[in-house]
Structures are given as structure tokens and as C-alpha cells.
Amino acid sequence: MKFLISLLRLLPPELAHSLALNALHFLYVMGLSKFIFPSSVTGDSFIYRNLNFKNRLGIAAGLDKNGDYIDSLGSLGFGFIEIGTVTPLAQAGNPKPRIFRLFNQHAIINRLGFNNKGLDYLVSKVKSRKYSGILGINIGANKDSEGQKRIDDYIECFYKVSPYADYIAVNISSPNTPNLRALHARENFIPLFSALNIARSEQDFANPVFIKLSPDESKETISDIIKAIREYGFDGIIASNTTVDHSELPDEASHKRVGGLSGKPLFQKSNELLASIHEDDHDLFKIGVGGVFSAQDFNKKLESGASLVQIYTSFIYEGPGVVSKLLN
């Protein structure tokens, strides 16, 4: 497996990503993945709001944007899977190259820009899944949507995915869609939260709604958002999305590269956000994500206040074996 991962590293990142996931899907369809990647994990089960997570480790949004690999990823032993980010209309995302692997730092910089096949495609894949575990769906807005249209995009996604989602994650924190992080400002997130609250009531959506946050906002801004999350009856947060702060990277060229940084360099920054929110509101439900590569990293997220943990970059670098590595 390590040899195959090394070969994939020689390919352009998006091609390697596609080949790896399609190979995983092929093995799953052929009934071989359970022998090659046995899901004999020993992580503790966890129940929240009548959702039964077989363990606390999940895959973060971004790996399977369109729901193409729900069943094959579900066969690997994850306690839950989050797909997306999905937007109402299909969009190509930002121009290539837009993913940059920093092997020495176990990190990735991406500026994908919500590339996905659109809401109707994702819903069709979700409806046909065999996976019976916990499925979260991450929603966003199209790149060219602004003002009220941007809010309308979130609401359209909410309405269409709510019949099929065990939870919905609202992504207001990607750095790769112009001005999306402006939704961290009160004058912008209050209208969005209000509209989401109405949609939730109209859909009678009883499952959790989480807000995915940026690690680059001030403590005051985050505190203001947490208060609003409570005010509108949402359930918790995901901390965190990628960071645009590249100052900790040793390569000066990477400091100037545009995009969100994930992987090991994000670990401390995302933990600080998580711990700060936990200190501010101990009872708020939290999902920790960012830089988890070892069992110690996994446990640190839990110690910092997370009830669940997600991975992304470590899965890219280490493959399916990382699941048992973190949980056993």
C-alpha cells in the first residue's frame, strides 16, 4: 500500500485523487476492499441526538464532493462521512493548478473553489447509497452568487438535502470562494442564520445543523457567531476549515501561494480555535478537524473539546490504513 501511495505522489494531485478514489470504489464493488482494508477498528461508539456513531472518527468534507464514493468510504471503518461542499449549480471551480502538496510538512494548499457537479447530482447519489452509517452533507453557495442570492443558495441546498442528511454542515469558511468568509460578519451571518432557521422549521428537520468556521477570525467574531448559533437553535460547530495563514511554513514560496492550508501546520491553529470555543461554551457540540495524523493528535482534539473528529489530509497522505492507526 505504501508503494502505491508513493506512486500516486508522482502524479498531479487532482489526477492522483481521482485515481485513488476510483480504485477504492472498484475494490469495493468487486468485494475486495474488506480484505485489503479490513475495518477492524476498536473506537468507542457515540450517540448524539439519536444518531449512533460507531466511532468518533469521520472523513471531512472535500474528499468526496459529489457523493460518488459514499459506499466505498463507508466500508473503511469510519464512524461517519461528510460529503460536499455542494452548491445549487454545478461549477468547475478555480483555474488549475489549484492543489499543491507540501510533502515535507505533510500539508496541502488548495484553492479549488467549490468545484462540484451540483445539488441534483449529489442528491441522486445519496438516494442510491447502500451505506447505512451517519452521513453529513456540507452545503455552500455558487461563486457568482452575492447578497440575497448567496443566502438563497444555502436555503435551496438545505431544502433538497434535508430529507437525506443525518446532519447538515453550513460552510461559511472556505477561503477559496470570493467573500464567502464575509459571512463571519454579523450583518451577513444573521440574515443567513435566520433564513436557515425558517427552512429548518418548514422542513421539520430534527437532525443537527453545524456551522463550519474559519480559524483565521478574531476571538470576538467567533464568540459573536457562537452566541448566534445558540440564539437560532443550531447544534454546534466544526472547527476548522483551512487557514490562509502560511507564515509557519519554512518555504518562503509557500507563504505567497494563494489557497487554504490543511494538514499538520493547521493542527495547532485549529486546536486553539476549538479550545477557545469550548472555553466559551462548554456544552456546545463540536467536531474537531485539522492536522490529525496520529492517535495522539486524535486524542488532543477530544481533550480540546471535540466530541467527534474528522480527517482529510492524513487520509490523502496515508490512505485507508490511517483509520485503524487513529482508532486502535
| The CA-based dihedral angle spanning residues 90, 182, 316, 109, taken in that order and rounded to the nearest 10 degrees | 110
Integer CA distances (angstroms), 199 to 130, 155, 206, 255, 321, in order: 28, 7, 12, 41, 39
CB neighbours (10 Å) of residue 310? Answer: 28
DSSP tag of 39 = -
Extract the C-alpha cell encoding 99. Answer: 492543489
Beta strands 260-263 and 107-110: pairing type?
A: antiparallel
* 128 part of the active site: no
Angle at 129 between CA 126 and CA 135, to 5 degrees: 60
Please choose, from the candidates 266, 190, 186, 200, the residue with its C-alpha nearest in 3D space to the C-alpha of residue 235: 200
Please choose, from the candidates 222, 142, 214, the residue with its C-alpha nearest in 3D space to the C-alpha of residue 178: 142
Give me the catalytic one of 174, 240, 254, 304: 174
> Known catalytic residues?
174
